[in-house]
């Protein structure tokens, strides 16, 4: 209980520090949000979006779930994307995974995970798509790290399949989609340099949901 109550004292100290740094910080915060970034990350408690990006409240619109998945039938994730892209008009969509992801590792275990079975099947599908590359990696740790990267890549592809992203990109050449991985061991972000233009062109050969601009 003491730990729980300490949260409120920590909150008061945070408020005081923010007001010390900027007297109108909360007045400005209450006026609305205009973030440039939509961040889709893992629910892991060790990966706080704003902090690892070095950004302030209001700078990043955030959605998190187990293993940073973008599932077509997940109305939560799809609603977040729709709102961020159509109404907030973010310029960048980031999918951020992290090495040592428990969800990715759990997906590759041969055991019944209950309710998680259906959710983590998405990660197993990523493994299936890239099985030849992954099976060729003998070191288990390196194989899981690569699966984390490939999972991020595939979630980026899923985002590019959505109508709102395609329509906004055809209209204003934004947002662009990027894949990152956070390394817990050193705190650094790694840009996977997903070939956005190439993937968008390829995706629209099949998932074309709107006319080209111009």
One CATH from 1.20.120.80, 3.40.1050.10, 3.40.50.720, 3.30.200.20 for 33-203: 3.40.1050.10
Which structure tokens are listed for 7? 């949260």
Range(s) for CATH 3.40.1050.10 in the chain? Answer: 33-203
Which structure tokens are listed for 66? 């187990």
- In degrees, rounded to 5, the angle at the alpha carbon of residue 106 between the alpha carbons of residues 103 and 107 is 85
pTM value is 0.93
Residues forming the active site: 42, 44, 46, 98, 101
Q: Could you report the average pLDDT of every consecutive run of 10 residues in the chain (214 residues)?
A: 92 96 94 96 96 95 98 97 98 98 92 91 96 96 97 97 93 96 97 92 80 60
What is the CB neighbour count within 10 angstroms for residue 104? 27
């Amino acid at each position: 209980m003491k730990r729980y109550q300490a949260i409120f004292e920590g909150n008061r100290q945070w408020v005081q520090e923010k007001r010390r740094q900027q007297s109108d910080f909360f007045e400005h915060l209450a006026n609305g949000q205009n973030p440039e970034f939509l961040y889709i990350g893992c629910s892991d408690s060790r990966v706080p979006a704003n902090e690892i990006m070095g950004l302030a409240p209001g700078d990043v619109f955030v959605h998190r779930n187990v293993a940073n998945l973008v599932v077509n039938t997940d109305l939560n994730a799809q609603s977040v994307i729709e709102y961020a892209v159509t109404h907030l008009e973010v310029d960048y969509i980031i999918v951020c995974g992290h090495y040592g992801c428990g969800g990715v590792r759990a997906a590759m275990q041969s055991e019944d995970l209950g309710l998680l079975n259906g959710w983590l099947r998405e990660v197993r599908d990523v493994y299936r798509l890239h099985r030849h590359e992954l099976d060729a990696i003998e070191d288990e740790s390196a194989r899981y790290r690569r699966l984390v990267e490939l999972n991020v890549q595939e979630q980026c592809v899923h985002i590019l399949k959505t109508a709102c992203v395609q329509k906004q990109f055809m209209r204003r050449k934004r947002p662009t989609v990027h894949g990152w991985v956070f390394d817990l061991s050193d705190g650094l972000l790694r840009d996977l340099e997903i070939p956005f233009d190439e993937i968008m062109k390829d995706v629209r050969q099949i998932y074309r949901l709107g006319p080209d601009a111009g």
